[in-house]
Structure 1
Amino acid sequence: MKILNYYVESWRRFGDFRGRSSRPAYWWPFLLHPLVFLVLGGIFAAILDLDTDQIGPEIVYFIAYVWLSIALGVRRLHDMGRKGTWLLLGLVPFGNLVLLYWLVQPSSVETNEWGDPGTQGGITTVSSDTEPEPPLQTNDIIR
């Protein structure tokens, strides 16, 4: 299931501010984190019998999620050829609208200073100057 792979990959690259993250590698974890946060909060509240005014272990997840979201946002901006410092645009009024517009844009198909598009969970490109390999024949396997 690709969606879970994107989610796991986001945690694997938790503190990685280098490289690129494609649109699905950014948006699937972004959409799944609130759901996971609610589920973990419910589980911890049930197991540990927490009151609503107590800070439970889910706060640790939330802090980690904020850090991970910053790393994902920086890598997503890198994927479009922009510096990660543009993420600070979210701190000014209406800056989030500009960021949202950028984050939903397709990946840059060109190699940029943060790597190739296909190397960091991005799209795969095929160069026209290389000849594709012929398909494998079944009689090649039998011999």
Structure 2
Amino acid sequence: MSDKPYYEQEYHAPKSDIPDPSFGQIFKGIFLYPFTWSARSTRKAFWISYVTQFVMSFLILCVMFAILLTGVYSSSEQEWTMVIQRMNFFTWLIELVLWILLIWIKLGLLGYAVRRLHDIDCSGWWLWLMFIPFGWIIIVVLLILPTVERPVKWGTYLFVNSN
């Protein structure tokens, strides 16, 4: 022990087994592991993935809207039926790929949400509360709770062994 009072001693952070994933690992979790349900996810990983998917979804929707607007401005009439009829195969293909990417990103966030609930020792089935009025408030509170620092029945973190 030191002879100094506690407020003059050097700070030592408490030891924890909670991993600190990098942005690359979090990004990889969105795209490569959307259906890995039996794992855990830290608070940091979930919220960074939430912001990342929000920004990416916004950008994808802007690109999709811009593609539709180019069809509107290139046609002489302003009706949407004419715009859709004048879209060529390449435009439809781009729209399809962007929709698939958007759905995949949302599924990646769903996977992170389930793993985050596992991290606080709750079942992923709690996400069904999103479909009842004000159930989203309970979900947000659960997602904000700190990590349970004991083994849970849903496995371990995705990126414990990778560096």
TM-score when scaled to structure 1?
A: 0.69
User: What is the CA distance between 1:69 and its match in structure 2?
Assistant: 2.0
- By how many angstroms is 1:28 displaced? 0.6
- Greater shift, 31-40 or 15-24, is seen at 31-40
| Alignment of 1:19 onto 2:59 | no
Structure 1 residue 51 corresponds to structure 2 residue 68: yes
**What one-letter code is carried by the residue in structure 2 that aligns with 1:51?**
L
Looking at secondary structure, tell me which structure has more helix per residue.
2
How far did 1:86 drift?
0.6
Alignment partner of 2:151 out of 85, 102, 111: 111
Match of 2:28 in 1: 8
Q: Where do 5+ consecutive residues of structure 2 fail to align?
A: 1-20, 70-79, 85-91
SS at match of 1:82: coil
Given that residues 77 and 103 in structure 1 are in contact (C-alpha distance below 8 angstroms), is that contact kept between their aligned partners in structure 2? yes
In structure 2, what is the Cα distance between the partners aligned to 1:45 and 1:84?
34
1:43 to 1:29, Cα distance in 2 relative to 1, 3 A: same
Deviation at 1:59, TM superposition (A): 1.3
1:74 aligns with 2:114: yes
Q: CA deviation at 1:8?
A: 2.0
1:36 is matched with 56
TM-score (norm 2): 0.62
Runs of 4+ in structure 1 off by over 6 angstroms are none
SS in 2 for 1:51: helix
CA deviations on 1:83-121 (whole Å, 9 max, x unpaired) are: 1101101111111001000101111101010124xx435
Q: Is the 8 A contact 2:35 2:108 kept in 1?
A: yes
CA offset digits 1:4-33 (Å, max 9, x no partner): 431222222121111111111111111111
The answer to whether the Cα contact below 8 Å between 2:30 and 2:105 also exists between their aligned partners in 1 is no
Which structure's CA Rg is the greater one? 2
SS of aligned partner of 2:37? coil
Output the aligned Cα RMSD.
Answer: 2.5
> 1:88/1:71 Cα in 2 relative to 1: closer, same or farther (>3 Å)?
same
Identical columns (%): 21
> Which residues of 2 match residues 59-70 of structure 1 at below 5 A?
59-70=99-110
Aligned ranges 1:117-136 → 2 under 5 Å: 119-121=157-159
Shift of 1:3: 2.6
Q: What is the Cα deviation at residue 44 of structure 1?
A: 6.4
Q: 2:38, 2:155 within 8 Å by CA — same for their partners in 1?
A: no
